[in-house]
Amino acid sequence: MVAAAIAGHSTIRGLDTDSTQADKAILQALAETGVPLFVGNNEIKVGSDLPVQLKPFHFDATDCPDLFPPLVALASVCHGSSFIRGVGRLAHKESDRALTLQEEFGKMGVDILIHGDVMGIKGTTTLRASTVHSRHDHRIAMATAVAALRAQGPVLIEKADAVNKSYPAFFNDLSKLGASVHALDKIF
């Protein structure tokens, strides 16, 4: 959904919007950005054929810390500063996700400040081409790949195979959505 919000549009089918899964809260952040969003029977439509200037958002991710990486990807291209609460929940993941997000998104030109339990992300319209590292964290690999959709040039993700932990087909699926994805000598 974040990929569609920042780089086009997509229809997602088969998600239960009445689920008790905490990660469905991503819809709140998306709505706050002003991206065209339709939630209907068994489908969610995100994005538009026309460019949309995304507004910054405030989000409490304390109860859904796995949303931090995609929320940072979203905030990285919002016009202004977004704030995400719940940083304390990130220290003991596959990496120290707060510091990893700050460092890796910083390589793409995104300013991220951490103050106590809040992360502030100053968005930019176009991210820098760069080399980032997943830190062997599947969610970091996916978030940087999604953010790379708005980069002014290629973004090389070292140890991108970290996605195999939760979503082995991630790069194939991203390619099917129109992204230019290359792995070593293989083109998806």
Taking only the tens place, the pLDDT of each residue in 157-185 is: 999 999 999 999 999 999 988 888 887 55
What is the tally of structural domains in the chain?
1
Would 59 be classed as within a structural domain?
yes
CB 26 within 8 A of CB 3: no
Would 28 be classed as within a structural domain?
no
Quick one: tokens of 46?
Answer: 């995100």
- Which of 66, 111, 161, 173 is catalytic? The answer is 66
What does the chain come to in residues?
188
Q: Residue 66 catalytic? A: yes
Render pLDDT for 58-99 as a digit per residue (tens, 0 to 9): 999 999 999 999 999 999 999 999 999 999 888 766 668 999
Residues near 16 by beta carbon (within 8 Å), at least 6 away in sequence: none
For 172, the domain range is: 54-180
Average pLDDT over residues 136-142: 95
Measured distance CA(168)–CA(161) in Å, rounded: 8
CATH number, residue 161: 3.65.10.10
Cα 109 to Cα 114, 127, 171, 173: the distances in Å are 16, 6, 23, 26
How confident is residue 188, by pLDDT bands cut at 50, 70 and 90?
very low
Measured distance CA(42)–CA(104) in Å, rounded: 35
Would 88 be classed as within a structural domain?
yes
CB 45 within 8 A of CB 11: yes
Query: What pLDDT does 47 receive?
Result: 93
